[in-house]
Amino acid sequence: MGWVLMSERELNRIEVLAQVDDGRLGVQNGANMLDITKRQMFRLLKTYRIEGAAAIRHKARGKTPNNQIHRAKRDYVLALIKEKYSDFGPTLAAEMLEEHHSFKVSRETLRKWMVEDGIWLSRKQRRTFHQPRLRRECYGELIQIDGSDHRWFEDRADPCTLLVFIDDATSTLMELRFVQSESTFSYFAALENYLLKHGRPVAFYSDKHTVFRVPSPSKYSTGMTQFGRALAELNIEILCANSSQAKGRVERANRTLQDRLIKEMRIAGISSMEDGNAFLEGFMKRFNAKFAKAPTRPDNLHRALNIEPDRLSEVFCLRDKRRPSSKSRSLCASNAAAVTHNPHSNENSPRFPPCRVCRRCSSR
């Protein structure tokens, strides 16, 4: 008789059965040690006495499972992944196989196949990431914002930037927008759309991009950017992170979007920012349905706008505070005198062009 492979559990059973068979241990005590019933203990003891210790091992050991997927199907799936989804992860690849090829396979089975074939690296083979901090408790309490410059349309269009607004408490994508680059006006447009849809959050969390923070404030400036000034008027706080790990929620979302969004737009044939922005609305709904988390507390901390929606354009603009010189003051006075003493002027005649320096002239 050759070698017989057994598990530790089966070896423990044989040891207890041998003690019961020799009379050193009672049947009930043996059943308690193996955590089985007394009737099952008698069955095992009978098998042990008739067929020997080798008969105690599991009868299905070494046999092909009834639910095993045929080798030809496995090879077909791996060939399909190498051809069309070579850079897809197991989860997304399993979704695409079911959606576009009507082949349903669990993501863990597919992960095992891809690891065995060298298409995918296991978790141990990948580096560990920074431990994320605890989430905020309420929806709308903190919104992380960032811009991701990438080849979102691969070789079908030029590189562009995706502005990402994500809720810290739930990982819900709140706003996505393709723009040429990170700028004050691009963030103004994304923020206006956000406010009209969701209302005012408590705070935004960003990096130290010059849109959000003045790098070298001087005594002649307010130390606040145009974006910061607009948020102050809307009573929204702006927080600037000292590192990318501090705002890891939006950084990890960028990495996920650079994987899933690019490939879904490739399948949908999207090749321009206009078509991409139209595609983003449906993508966000699918993404949030799959990845959004429930908040610790059910409160929604978004607030209603403190101004009329049609007056947002007065907030999302460039403003500059200047101090007029003595020459500009005399120019203002001469302009005012010219208007006052104009004998041909009347209420219906066009006004004198206002001075762009002092408030008194521009108020006429």
Residue with tokens 């669990």: 106
Q: Are 165 and 253 in contact, with CB atoms under 8 Å apart?
A: no
* Amino acid (one-letter) located at 202: V
Q: What is the pLDDT of residues 125-152, one digit of tens each?
A: 776 655 667 899 999 999 999 999 999 9
Rounded CA separation 258/46 (Å) = 62
Beta bridge partners of 165: 145, 175
Ranges in the chain, pLDDT < 70: 1-2, 127-132, 219-222, 322-364
3-state SS assignment for residue 207: coil
Instruction: List C-alpha distances in Å: 279 to 100, 192, 247, 261.
Output: 19, 19, 26, 10
Q: Are 151 and 273 in contact, with CB atoms under 8 Å apart?
A: no
pTM across the whole model: 0.61
Q: Which pLDDT score, from 0 to 100, does residue 344 have?
A: 43
Rounded CA separation 233/256 (Å) = 34
Residue with tokens 């051809």: 83
Please spell the DSSP secondary structure of 112-132, one letter per residue: HHHHHTTSS--GGGSPP-PPP
DSSP letter, residue 8: H
Query: How many Å from the N-terminal Cα to the C-terminal Cα in the chain?
Result: 109
CA 194 to chain centre: 17
Q: Which pLDDT score, from 0 to 100, does residue 309 have?
A: 87
Q: What is the pLDDT of residues 348-361, one digit of tens each?
A: 444 434 444 444 44
DSSP run (H or E) holding 225: none
